[in-house]
Amino acid sequence: MISAIVCTLIALLAWRLVRALTPKSPLDIVPGPIATSFLTGHLSQITDTQSWDFHSHIAEKYGPIVKLRGLLGKPMLYIFDPLSLQHILKDSTLYDEPPWYLQSNCILLGPGLPCVTGETHRKQRKMLTPIFAPKHLRSLVPVFYGVTHKLVSAISTRVGEDPQAVDVLGWMGRAALELIGQSGLGYSFDPLTEDVQDAYGDAVKSYSPVATCAEMMLLRQLTPFVGFLGPSWLRRWLVERLPIPSVQELIRICDTMRAKSSEILQAKKAAIDTHGADHKDIISVLLKANMEVPVGERLPDEEVSGQMSSILFAAMDTTSTALSRILHLLAQHQEVQEKARLEVIEARTAAGGDLDYDQLHALPYLDAVCRETLRLYPPAPQTFRGTTKDAVLPLSQPIHGTDGSVVSELVIPRGTDIVIGMMACNRSKALWGDDAYEWKPERWLGPLPETVERAAIPGVYSHL
């Protein structure tokens, strides 16, 4: 016991000495909360699945530029200033995903679009952009209807005539996986109308909770240092012997996803060689496009397989949580539910059945419900960037430094991790007004606040 106390005191003193000898950082004047741990800083607070209160707290108390602490007390920034976000998110040469984020995602998911940079990213993006254009998405609407009709039938059959509790999040997870499976991979995970186990589907559903838990997010910060441990087989051997349950579970999940993705990919290539490409799922279209470009522009199988895992990760958990939140909010706001239902019923009656892509987009109130839910409850509250070299970041409004100075632009040292506060930006009262924390779909039926329009938030959807 005494030796443990002595070791702790020595470590603490050594840490204090290192901090005292470390040169001052220009970020020292940025206000922010005191770290709860000298080892992990605020990382466990911003990555925990129950961290929304922390995000709201720091945004309200410190404003759009907040200094946090990372591993071993390293300064990092939490930012939702709209002008700063424009510069960060539009300049990938100066602000890019941090090395630990890219490398850990690449190890876990394979070299898909979210995990690569430079020329590889350019080639992948060029190949994938047409696949996500409205023209192709229109062709996938019947696939979505097929899955949702099965979902309605499955829940209705199990509920019967008597009211009972339904695990909506569980059902939305199953439905989202099937939607993404059929439209993205041309693969069926779940018939929905009966309960069937699928090891691949179970791995996909388990990936996000394990890979993004606070413990794993802390460990993933160490990824850039793993390369010093030797060749990949040795690193794998060492990781397999870590006595950390979440690490071992993630190894099993990723192995299952990688093996099945490779199997599906080879089967699709064989089918295209034999029968041609008449399937409309994203991977089939990608494979066909990949075969038609010059050899030097083609994506290797490893990168195509990486797209499969990336699509599943990016779309499944976000879709299921967004759908669940919408249904939860509609249950709490009966008047909104009735208005949205009436709009859909009238449109279906006029169309004589299911609505096509353009008819769905022409439902203003349903669209407002979706936008407002994604504004107030984004499936991911933050994402990460890092500076590739020293940068000067402009601010839309000056901030008051802890030394009493007024700061209108911020010098950010190379290698600084930046947390993009997506939820904080979406809920900013300075942008959205005093009712920013209220769920009000009607706000999308009229002009948005001038503050939102002027901010030019660099999102891809509705100033979000």
Average pLDDT, the chain: 87
The predicted pLDDT at position 369 comes to 98
Task: Tell me: pLDDT of 6 over 60.
Answer: no
Confidence of residue 10 (pLDDT cuts 50, 70, 90): low
Q: 63-110 pLDDT, tens per residue?
A: 999 999 988 889 999 999 999 999 999 888 899 888 888 888 888 888
Residue 355 contacts residue 402 (beta carbons within 8 Å): no
The identity of residue 65, as a single letter, is I
Residue 286 contacts residue 127 (beta carbons within 8 Å): yes
H helices of 194-279, where? 199-211, 214-220, 223-226, 232-239, 245-275
Range in 142-156, 234-248, 430-444 with the lowest mean pLDDT: 234-248
Structure tokens at 340: 């949205």
Buried b (16+ CB within 10 A) or exposed e, 287-296: bebbeeeeee
The predicted pLDDT at position 254 comes to 92
The predicted pLDDT at position 81 comes to 95
Q: 32-65 pLDDT, tens per residue?
A: 999 888 888 888 888 877 788 999 999 999 999 9
The predicted pLDDT at position 87 comes to 94
* CA gap 283, 260 in Å, rounded: 14
Q: Give residues with Cβ within 8 angstroms of 72, minimum separation 6.
A: 15, 38, 39, 41
* CA gap 173, 167 in Å, rounded: 10
The predicted pLDDT at position 249 comes to 94
Q: 127-182 pLDDT, tens per residue?
A: 888 777 888 888 889 999 999 999 999 999 888 888 888 899 999 999 999 999 99
Task: For residue 377, give the nearest of 429, 433, 427, 440 by alpha carbon.
Answer: 427
Q: Do 24-117+380-393+405-455 and 128-313 have matching folds?
A: no
Q: What percent of the chain has pLDDT over 70?
A: 94
Task: For residue 130, give the nearest of 357, 280, 286, 305 by alpha carbon.
Answer: 286
Return the CATH fold of 24-117+380-393+405-455.
3.30.43
Task: Tell me: pLDDT of 370 over 70.
Answer: yes
Task: Tell me: pLDDT of 311 over 80.
Answer: yes
Higher-confidence residue of 292 and 325: namely 325
This prediction's pTM: 0.86
Tell how many helices (H) and how many strands (E) occur in the chain.
Answer: 21, 7
The predicted pLDDT at position 69 comes to 93
Residue 94 contacts residue 214 (beta carbons within 8 Å): no
Confidence of residue 13 (pLDDT cuts 50, 70, 90): low
Would you say the C-alpha torsion 245, 211, 74, 430 has a positive or negative sign? Answer: negative
The predicted pLDDT at position 278 comes to 66
Instruction: Compute CA 76 distance to the chain's CA centroid, rounded to the nearest angstrom.
Output: 20
Strands 75-79 and 417-421: parallel
Instruction: Compute CA 425 distance to the chain's CA centroid, rounded to the nearest angstrom.
Output: 15
Task: Tell me: pLDDT of 9 over 60.
Answer: no
Instruction: Compute CA 412 distance to the chain's CA centroid, rounded to the nearest angstrom.
Output: 25
Domain ranges for the chain: 24-117+380-393+405-455, 128-313
Torsion of CA 115, 119, 122, 128, to 10 degrees: -60
Task: Tell me: pLDDT of 289 over 90.
Answer: no
* CA gap 160, 332 in Å, rounded: 23
The predicted pLDDT at position 306 comes to 87
Task: Tell me: pLDDT of 195 over 70.
Answer: yes
Q: Give residues with Cβ within 8 angstroms of 360, minimum separation 6.
A: 141, 366
The predicted pLDDT at position 372 comes to 97
The predicted pLDDT at position 269 comes to 85
Range in 146-155, 221-230, 238-247, 371-380 with the lowest mean pLDDT: 221-230
Task: Tell me: pLDDT of 5 over 80.
Answer: no
The predicted pLDDT at position 58 comes to 94
Between vectors from CA 238 to CA 209 and to CA 223, what angle results, nearest 5°?
55
The predicted pLDDT at position 408 comes to 92
Return the CATH fold of 128-313.
Cytochrome p450 (1.10.630)
Return phi, psi of residue 397, to 5°: -135, 140
DSSP one-letter string for 169-182: HHHHHHHHHHHHII
Task: Tell me: pLDDT of 449 over 80.
Answer: yes
DSSP category for residue 298? P
* CA gap 160, 147 in Å, rounded: 20
The predicted pLDDT at position 33 comes to 94
Q: 392-436 pLDDT, tens per residue?
A: 999 999 999 999 999 999 999 999 999 999 999 999 999 999 999
Residue 298 contacts residue 290 (beta carbons within 8 Å): yes
